[in-house]
Amino acid sequence: MADAQFITARQSSVVETNKVLRNTYMLLSMTLLFSAGMAALAMALEVPYMGFIPLLVSFALLFAISKFKNSGIGIALVFAFTGILGFSLGPILNYYMSSAGGTQIVVTAASLTGMIFMSLSGYVLVTKKDFSFMAGFLMTGLWVVIGAILLSLVGGLFGFHVSGLQLAISSVVVVLMSGFILYDTSNIIHGGETNYIMATVSLYLNIYNLFVNLLAILGIFGGDD
């Protein structure tokens, strides 16, 4: 009887995990398309760079999403969140597209982002490997990056620029986001994340930050400062 209950419980857990995965990737696909559409709209309207405004709004939406993660409101907030971030990409993409070789840089960054995400996420889904051990390393790396960004901003205010700092930051972020893709995908299939709305937000942010920083790296090597 105990064995039968264990098997039933395990089967139920597998079914629930598969449901979370299915819903996560479905919502992620829709939000990525919506985000791309908003970026295209911002490009068509030639919207100027919006500074920190989208970032501040996004932070506020993250708290709201966490509060309403178990309701339909949460889904609407996810689309608002990804739409705003996508819209804020428009001016950045226009900047690159207007430069020599800019189109190639954008296409390459998008292609690399897709390849990295599908390869890493697919690896975890196939092997079922548990990457929870990476949590401490990833969070430490994230705080180091935040510190470096603040240092760069403060230095910029006083006219002090560290050569190669932007390249170093973007390179570290690419590595960190790759690690977060492994960690977050693993977290879903091993039951650490059971809410598909929060899982979608995590994976979306990994993809978004991966793309933006690959764009910066390729832009630097392409001659854009």
Q: Are the CB atoms for 135 and 182 separated by under 8 Å?
A: no
Cα 130 to chain centroid, rounded:
20
Per-residue pLDDT of the chain (225 residues; tens, 9 = 90+): 545 444 554 555 667 788 889 999 999 999 999 999 999 999 999 999 887 788 889 989 999 999 999 989 999 999 999 999 999 999 999 999 888 788 899 999 999 999 999 999 999 999 999 999 999 999 999 999 988 888 877 766 665 566 577 888 999 999 999 999 999 999 999 888 889 999 999 999 999 999 999 999 998 887 544
Q: Which two tokens stand for residue 140?
A: 């430490």
For residue 71, the 8-state DSSP code is: S
Q: Which two tokens stand for residue 168?
A: 């170093």
- Give exposure, 42-79, as e/b (b: 16+ Cβ within 10 Å): bbeeeeeebeeebeebbeebeebbeebbeeeebbebbe
pLDDT at 101: 80
CA distance 222 to 225: 9
H-type alpha helices, 46-164: 53-67, 72-97, 102-127, 135-157
CA angle 164, 165, 166 (to 5 degrees): 95
Longest dimension (CA), the chain: 73
Which pTM value belongs to this model? Answer: 0.89
Residue ranges of domains in the chain: 14-221
Report which of 222, 193, 173 is spatially closest to residue 19, judged by C-alpha positions.
Answer: 193
Q: Are the CB atoms for 183 and 135 separated by under 8 Å?
A: yes
